[in-house]
Structure 1
Amino acid sequence: MPDFPPIKACIFDVDGLLINSEDIYSQTMNNVLHEYGLPDIPWSVKAMQQSRGRQGFINVMQWANLPITVDEFQAKVSTQRDPFKNCELLPGVQQLLYNLSERVQSSPPHLAIASSAERDFFKLKTDRFRSVLSVIPEHHRVFGHDPSMAGCKGKPAPDIFLQTLQRINGSLGADEAQSRPEECLVFEDSIAGVEAGRAAGMRVVWVPHPGLLEVYRGREEMVLNGGLLDEDAAMVGSFPTSSEGEIEERGPVISKDGRARLVTSLEDFPYAYYGLRIRH
């Protein structure tokens, strides 16, 4: 394990990380694309849409050359909410949350959520398993439309993670030590989220959708090292494409500085690597 301080806080994204809503988001966009006789959005384009707010929709529109405005596109997508009532927890989520909240020896880490989504939409998507998520305190949950996020930038800017850390520290007792960014572990599925976590000075666990991972086969370390998606970069016309050929089996994929690591499933979360000892 690299020489890092112990983990005091774990901050989770939601969509595509805790729940399978990313596939549903894809389908809602595909439904709109189909209205105009267009094919499904490929993961090479979706990579530029995930966790990027309005700019993400612009990226999709420029790829698809849709004859509507960004606001119209977002409205057509956002009205399709019923399918999200059927969201499911992704593999390993329930056990991971239980282990982190109940089975960590000595001091369990503080658990928090940092999601760009709306709070009410989060409730709709997670109502069926709110008991599982109850280990994450309500006052440790930060959403993109919260008043505390007014004036803040979305991912890949670090603002939402820094706001979440501030929320955690604000809930501590007078005798409890404040958590520093380097003592926080961010769980993310999107590339923009990985960059936001790194920009916040935190450590990052990247758990990508299989479709996203396929796009970046052979370039995983580029994602983990950060700086892959520059906000000023001209992305349209330069979307990444999947690597070709056989992919050789490798050991753990970790950034050069050890701050970010690829985990293909939360079922395989490496507790020991982060100094978390789990009682058996």
Structure 2
Amino acid sequence: MKNQILTVYPSPPPIRACIFDMDGLLIDSEDKYTRGTNEILAKYGKGPIPWDVKAKLQGRPGTAAMDIFLKWAQLPITAEEYTAEQNDLHTKYFPTTAPLAGVETLFQQLSVARTAQEGHPVAIALATSSHLPKFRLKTSHLEPLFSIFPPEQRILGDDPRIPSGRGKPAPDIYLLALSAINDSLHASIPPIQPHECLVFEDAVPGVEAGRRAGMQVVWVPASGLAELYQGREHEVLAGKTGEGDDLLGPNELGSVGDGWAAQMNSLEEFDWARWGVEFANRENK
């Protein structure tokens, strides 16, 4: 999938769809990743993992993240041995994941959210780099929360429709999520365009993926990540930190300060009006 051509609007257009990342945005699984990683590092007299390394792992497909981590860690074990130890810890910790602040309220609001012009429900999809086995570990006990996403609108990192090597920061997973949304729409509803989508992300590569897809983005970084990128926030929001330049070339979509992305400390701060969304019942806003 290629990057979309971004139409320049005087201001960002109202959104018609929301597409969510998962780890570190909806649930605290990133904390579980860090806990397990640090346990392995400590076992071999290393660690803890610093934020400048963790930032490069977040949001990326497992294989790509593993390559970056092992190159940095220089552990005295093989990649296969590390994976086995990691999987044991994931099996231990992932079934204890919990929703992050603001998620449950945001999902409740989505049930009555309506597009500003047509009054249609705001469409939704999940777009996570997690593969199916890990997704199940992290979410099986949270199915009431994740039931908001129809099964066909849950796009996972091992989806065969995503070409090899085209995980985040490439835009493919978000464009595929939008395609799944459009496939679900009634024939009378015009297809949703990339610029009418709002991506929710915690990771820098994920923000870049959303911007490369020609979508609007909300960035909700962990405090350590926000501190790491202090002074560079506008580059992150524009998708111009260079995370994907080696694979994809420079991101030509949008520009720094174009208003197509926003940063917040948690989803508790999210303001629907900022993105042109109305409510069927104003009391639910």
Which category of TM-score, normalised to the shorter sequence, fits these structures? 0.7 to 0.9
Q: Is 2:59–2:129's contact at 8 Å kept on the other side of the alignment?
A: yes
The 1:165/1:272 distance shift into structure 2, 3 A limit, reads same
Match of 1:260? 261
Match of 1:18? 26
User: Which aligned runs of 4 or more in structure 1 are off by greater than 3 angstroms?
Assistant: 68-72, 229-233
Structure 1 stretch 56-65 or stretch 182-191: which is displaced more? 56-65
2:175 pairs, out of 162, 165, 190, with 162
The 1:64/1:277 distance shift into structure 2, 3 A limit, reads same
The size of the alignment, in residue pairs, is 260
1:63 is aligned to 2:72: yes
Match of 2:104? 94
Structure 1 stretch 55-64 or stretch 206-215: which is displaced more? 55-64
Q: Deviations over 1:212-254 (max 9, x none)?
A: 1111122211211212133456xxxxxxxxxxxxxxxxxxxx9
Equivalent residue of 2:112, what SS?
helix
1:180 pairs, out of 173, 193, 198, with 193
TM-score (norm 2): 0.85
1:3 pairs, out of 7, 11, 16, with 11
Q: Is 2:124–2:153's contact at 8 Å kept on the other side of the alignment?
A: yes
Q: CA deviation at 1:255?
A: 4.7
Q: Give the CA RMSD over aligned residues.
A: 2.0
2:124 pairs, out of 111, 115, 123, with 111
Q: CA deviation at 1:95?
A: 0.6
1:52 pairs, out of 49, 56, 60, with 60
Q: Is 2:11–2:259's contact at 8 Å kept on the other side of the alignment?
A: no
Name the CA distance, whole Å, in 2 between partners of 1:214 and 1:33.
23
The 1:152/1:38 distance shift into structure 2, 3 A limit, reads closer
TM-score (norm 1): 0.86
Name the CA distance, whole Å, in 1 between partners of 2:10 and 2:69.
39
Name the CA distance, whole Å, in 1 between partners of 2:154 and 2:165.
16
Name the CA distance, whole Å, in 2 between partners of 1:103 and 1:112.
15
Equivalent residue of 2:208, what SS?
helix
Q: CA deviation at 1:52?
A: 2.1
Point out where structure 1 has 5 or more consecutive residues left out of the alignment.
234-253
Q: Is 1:51–1:155's contact at 8 Å kept on the other side of the alignment?
A: yes
Name the CA distance, whole Å, in 2 between partners of 1:174 and 1:277.
23
Match of 2:212? 199
Letter in 2 for 1:79: D
Percent identity between the two aligned chains:
45
